[in-house]
Structure 1
Amino acid sequence: MTHATLWLATPSRYAGLKPQAARIALALLALLLAATFLALASPGPPPVSRDPAQRAQDQADVMLYESIVQDMRGGQDYYSAAAQELRSGDYPMRPFVTFRLPTLAVVQALLPRDVTIGLLYALTIGVLFAWYRQLKPALARTPPRLIAMALLCGGMIAFVQGELASFHEIWAGLLIALSLAVRREDKWIEAVAIGLIAMLIRETAALYVGVMAVLAFAEGNRKEALGWAATVAVLAIVVALHAHAVGQVVRPTDPASPGWAGLLGFGFFVKTMQLSTALVLAPLWLAAPLIGLALFGWSAWNSALALRALAIFAVYAALLGLFGRTDTFYWGLMIAPTLLIGLAFAPDGLRDLIAAARTPRRKITITRMTR
């Protein structure tokens, strides 16, 4: 028996599940929600003081990137400026990935700061518009659509802060959200191009592109899969040239990175999602299960886009849980914009899952007849 939908326009992925499968899914959901509380024991970055006088300490990385751009406006090339600022800030300079790709800094050095911030806001508006177009047919009525858009805004709370415009993950995260929203089976070139831009700003966007390539191939969309793969090949060439350029400015005595094998686990991923979204305003004991429900909600929306989003969240959760350190929590910004939208799909998924689990088994009665 299929019930009328609550917020979704069509039944959730869990509608019509067999009772045994629904009970297993409920058990897995309970396990997921319990696992989110690991965030309570997970280490995190030191708290931000919010004192303007302490900005150099609170936003050291942002100020590093701003200083590099300022040096470039003064006539230095990117690699010399980056090496100088990294060295003066006692940052690790080996291996070469400690240097960001020059794309964002070069663009910002060519533009006035106000224009850069204007572009950031324009990109944010573009993400909002693209996701509204995606969500309008998925959600049956106006109130759920408005709630979904509010959740999208909650995921982008860090992305409309002009003082973070020099932060690479801010731009890459918005570009990933935009690429995912504009991709369609018959219209994927724009999504691929936006994904390439995201990678050229922050190379960890390659995880997103890789997921999109694999899923396109799995669905039989070979041309699309080749398109995504081609952008990875372009990135590989760019990274090779980048590594060579970094090698020209790094000295043997420069400090090396301590490594990225943080092994902080799923709880750290949950904590980064709290810190990267509007859930930072809520206590962690409340924010943690909401993040779990958001992931569940994405699994409930019966669409290919939702499966892509889930796969992307899973890959970045693995990145953060395995390789993240407390000072690299900002990697979570790569997927923060869209995560909370899943809460808009959760009511239908929960109702359908519980209803399916409670469906009584049909009893077969055998009557013995004698003549």
Structure 2
Amino acid sequence: MKTRRGAPLWTTGATRFAGMPSAHARIGIVVLLVFLAACLGAITSPGPRPSSASGIAAGSVAADPPPPGQTDLLLYQSIVAGIRGGSPYYTAAAEAQRMGHYPLKPFFAVRLPTLAVVEAALPPMLVNLLLLGLCVGTILAWVARLRPTMTGLVPLGAAGLLGVAGLFVNLDPSFVVFHEVWAGPLIAVSLALRRPGHWLPAVAFGLSAMLIRETALLYVAIMAVFAWLEGERRETLGWLGAIAIFAVVLAAHAHAVSLVSGPLDRVSQGWSGLEGFGFYVRLATISSGLDILPQWLASLVLGMALFGWLAWRDAVATRALVVFAAYAALISLFARSDNFYWALMTTPVLLVGLVFAVDGLRDMIAAARDTRRITVTRVIR
């Protein structure tokens, strides 16, 4: 027997938990509590704060310690300065990475040139304005995407504020040289724009994210799989075409890196942190507006945001949840304690899920408490 759904609070449509059998709802509540407990593992997980210079230290540095004060932030700034000084990108990158004791092998230890070349060609003020524009565009894209699903201005305004909280680090001009600061919002915009039969802008933004940060390939691959599963042949070809373009660019990048690296250059120690799910939660909280909260509270809020994405009965919510899960797995398995910025690929819209958690939690609790019984009465004549 299914339960009735109460009047909507923040969302106009039914959540995934509306009408759930009471037994299933009670199991769901137990699973949610276990999941929230897993999120609390962030309390004991390592993780630098994004405002700390030591926290940004060399995510791909070799075994020997870097020079005093050397950080990834300084590395990327040095590369941009070198290009502005007239050096080709790969020459500037190789010199900066050698000076900072960074590896040049394998080739993906060197970032793609897209962001550094563009930033070197533009005045710093214009670069900051472009990043601000991207962040504002991300918020507006999601407000427009959510407007038909919200019951009024209060939940819609809350979604906008949660978008601002998710872009907390991205809005800091001092991080403008970080590739994830750009790639994360590009992925978020791509998700917001994608609709059945209207996928070209989403593919374009996804390709842009890949050309800035290689790990955006994970997002594009997920979108291609979803398009294929839903029988969207043209969209599938669009995502695969973006991956093909990226593969060509990556091959050219690998060749260019090989021309500036030598046998004595450092080799990366690899990415195999194996820090666990709590580590992802910690990095995601310190890479968003949740950084102002105590870690235990921030962890629970983030867990409820993920629950909210699960509650929203919409195709974009399913895609978003799979993307978050995939990057969480990537970070849990491969990121090290000094790779806080990896989480920036997911934080721009992650907290928006809280607006759906309101109705989702209400529906699940209501279903669990439903004690209606069917009484059968025999009438004897």
Superposed pair shares fold, TM > 0.5 = yes
Give yes or no for the alignment of 1:15 onto 2:26: no
Instruction: Give the alignment partner of residue 37 of structure 2, picking from 31, 34, 38.
Output: 34
Given the superposition, is the C-alpha separation of residues 58 and 278 from structure 1 closer, same or farther in structure 2, using an over 3 Å criterion?
farther
Give yes or no for the alignment of 1:85 onto 2:96: yes
CA contact under 8 A between 1:120 and 1:171: conserved in structure 2?
A: yes
Instruction: Give the alignment partner of residue 99 of structure 1, picking from 110, 115, 119.
Output: 110
Moved over 6 A (4+): 56-59
Q: Structure 2, unaligned stretches of length 5 or more?
A: 58-66
Given the superposition, is the C-alpha separation of residues 261 and 365 from structure 1 closer, same or farther in structure 2, using an over 3 Å criterion?
same
User: What are the Cα deviations for residues 18-49 of structure 1, in whole angstroms up to 9, with x where unaligned?
Assistant: 12221222121111101001111111126845
1:166 is paired with a residue whose SS is: coil
Instruction: Name 1:194's counterpart in structure 2.
Output: 205
Instruction: Give the alignment partner of residue 348 of structure 2, picking from 337, 351, 359.
Output: 337
The normalised TM-score by structure 1 is 0.95
Q: Distance in 2 between matches of 1:69 and 1:155?
A: 27
Give yes or no for the alignment of 1:308 onto 2:319: yes
* Structure 1 position 50, deviation (Å): 7.8
2:162 is paired with a residue whose SS is: helix
Give yes or no for the alignment of 1:155 onto 2:158: no
The normalised TM-score by structure 2 is 0.92
1:264 is paired with a residue whose SS is: coil
CA contact under 8 A between 2:10 and 2:155: conserved in structure 1?
A: yes
Give yes or no for the alignment of 1:176 onto 2:149: no
* Structure 1 position 2, deviation (Å): 1.8
* Structure 1 position 123, deviation (Å): 1.1
Give yes or no for the alignment of 1:232 onto 2:243: yes
Q: Distance in 2 between matches of 1:23 and 1:283?
A: 29
* Structure 1 position 187, deviation (Å): 1.0
Given the superposition, is the C-alpha separation of residues 49 and 181 from structure 1 closer, same or farther in structure 2, using an over 3 Å criterion?
closer
Q: How does 1:103-252 map to 2 (within 5 A)?
A: 103-252=114-263
CA contact under 8 A between 2:50 and 2:286: conserved in structure 1?
A: no
Q: Distance in 1 between matches of 2:312 and 2:224?
A: 21
Instruction: Name 2:328's counterpart in structure 1.
Output: 317
User: What are the Cα deviations for residues 125-150 of structure 1, in whole angstroms up to 9, with x where unaligned?
Assistant: 21121111011111101111111111
Given the superposition, is the C-alpha separation of residues 224 and 316 from structure 1 closer, same or farther in structure 2, using an over 3 Å criterion?
same
Give yes or no for the alignment of 1:290 onto 2:290: no
Q: Distance in 2 between matches of 1:84 and 1:25?
A: 54
Instruction: Name 2:62's counterpart in structure 1.
Output: none
1:10 is paired with a residue whose SS is: coil
* Structure 1 position 161, deviation (Å): 1.4
CA contact under 8 A between 1:48 and 1:58: conserved in structure 2?
A: no
CA contact under 8 A between 2:50 and 2:340: conserved in structure 1?
A: no
1:100 is paired with a residue whose SS is: coil
Q: Distance in 2 between matches of 1:228 and 1:98?
A: 25
Given the superposition, is the C-alpha separation of residues 9 and 59 from structure 1 closer, same or farther in structure 2, using an over 3 Å criterion?
farther
Give yes or no for the alignment of 1:280 onto 2:291: yes
CA contact under 8 A between 1:294 and 1:339: conserved in structure 2?
A: yes
Q: How does 1:252-263 map to 2 (within 5 A)?
A: 252-263=263-274
* Structure 1 position 57, deviation (Å): 7.1
2:148 is paired with a residue whose SS is: coil
> What is the letter of the counterpart of residue 326 of structure 1?
S
Given the superposition, is the C-alpha separation of residues 59 and 45 from structure 1 closer, same or farther in structure 2, using an over 3 Å criterion?
farther
Q: Distance in 2 between matches of 1:59 and 1:194?
A: 32
Corresponding pairs, count: 367
2:339 is paired with a residue whose SS is: helix
> What is the letter of the counterpart of residue 26 of structure 1?
I
User: What are the Cα deviations for residues 306-350 of structure 1, in whole angstroms up to 9, with x where unaligned?
Assistant: 111101100000000011101112100011100000111111000
Given the superposition, is the C-alpha separation of residues 216 and 358 from structure 1 closer, same or farther in structure 2, using an over 3 Å criterion?
same
CA contact under 8 A between 2:49 and 2:286: conserved in structure 1?
A: no
Q: Distance in 2 between matches of 1:102 and 1:289?
A: 38
CA RMSD of aligned residues (A): 1.9
> What is the letter of the counterpart of residue 199 of structure 1?
M
Given the superposition, is the C-alpha separation of residues 132 and 287 from structure 1 closer, same or farther in structure 2, using an over 3 Å criterion?
same
> What is the letter of the counterpart of residue 134 of structure 1?
R
Given the superposition, is the C-alpha separation of residues 213 and 189 from structure 1 closer, same or farther in structure 2, using an over 3 Å criterion?
same
Instruction: Name 2:27's counterpart in structure 1.
Output: 24
> What is the letter of the counterpart of residue 38 of structure 2?
A
Instruction: Name 1:269's counterpart in structure 2.
Output: 280
Q: Distance in 1 between matches of 2:236 and 2:121?
A: 34
